């Protein structure tokens, strides 16, 4: 004979475990804005000591306004210890008109903080639209 009560308990437990797993999945989110260059190294995106699991995926930057005169440097920094300083991981320089105009900066999971900066090295002040995608 089938143990109906025992079977229902196992189904209930397995459904509960599946729901816990689904609730624990990271959700893709987005933020963005516009940065006007000043010549200083400026934060595009910065997260100080994220709570729990944090997975930044990418920063997209629109270089449509970059003319032949502009040179822009993008830097990516990570903090790999909660008490540590930011350490530069990557640097990219874009000079002149860009084609394609949309640039992706790929990011890595991090527990203690991330900083992405933009700095105008040459040319005039321009506006750069940006978007960040991350799982949290």
pLDDT, tens digit, 9 for 90 and up, residues 29-75: 788 999 999 999 999 999 887 777 688 999 999 999 999 999 999 99
* pLDDT at residue 96 greater than cutoff 90: yes
d(C-alpha 40, C-alpha 34), whole Å: 16
The residue segments making up the domain with residue 74 are 26-135
Residue 14 forms part of a structural domain: no
The answer, as to whether pTM is greater than 0.75, is: yes
Counting every residue written for the chain, the total comes to 136
Residue 98 forms part of a structural domain: yes
- Predicted confidence band at 7 (pLDDT cuts at 50, 70, 90)? confident
d(C-alpha 61, C-alpha 43), whole Å: 13
Handedness of CA 106, 96, 91, 43 (dihedral sign): negative
Residue 99 forms part of a structural domain: yes
Residue 4 forms part of a structural domain: no
Place of tokens 């040459």: 122
CATH of the domain at 102: 2.60.120.1390
pLDDT, tens digit, 9 for 90 and up, residues 65-89: 999 999 999 999 999 888 889 999 9
Residue 3 forms part of a structural domain: no
Residue 5 forms part of a structural domain: no
In terms of Cα–Cα distance, which of 27, 63, 28, 33 is closest to 46?
Answer: 33
- Give the per-residue pLDDT at 61: 98
Q: Per the structure, how many domains does the chain have?
A: 1
Q: Which two tokens stand for residue 77?
A: 């920094």
- Render the burial of 120-131: b for 16+ CB within 10 Å, e for the rest: beebeebebebb
- Predicted confidence band at 1 (pLDDT cuts at 50, 70, 90)? low
d(C-alpha 47, C-alpha 115), whole Å: 7
């Amino acid at each position: 004979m089938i143990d109906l009560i025992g079977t229902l308990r196992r189904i209930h437990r397995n459904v509960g475990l599946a729901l816990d797993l689904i609730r624990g999945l990271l959700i893709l989110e987005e933020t963005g804005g516009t940065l006007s260059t000043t010549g200083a190294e400026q934060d595009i995106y910065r997260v100080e000591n994220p709570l729990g699991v944090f997975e930044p995926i990418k920063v997209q930057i629109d270089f449509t306004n970059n003319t032949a005169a502009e040179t822009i440097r993008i830097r990516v920094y990570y903090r790999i210890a909660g008490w540590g300083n930011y350490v530069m991981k990557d640097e990219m320089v874009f000079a002149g008109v860009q084609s394609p105009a949309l640039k992706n900066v790929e990011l890595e999971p991090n527990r203690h903080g991330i900083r992405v900066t933009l700095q105008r090295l040459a040319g005039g002040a321009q506006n750069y639209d940006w978007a960040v995608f991350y799982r949290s």
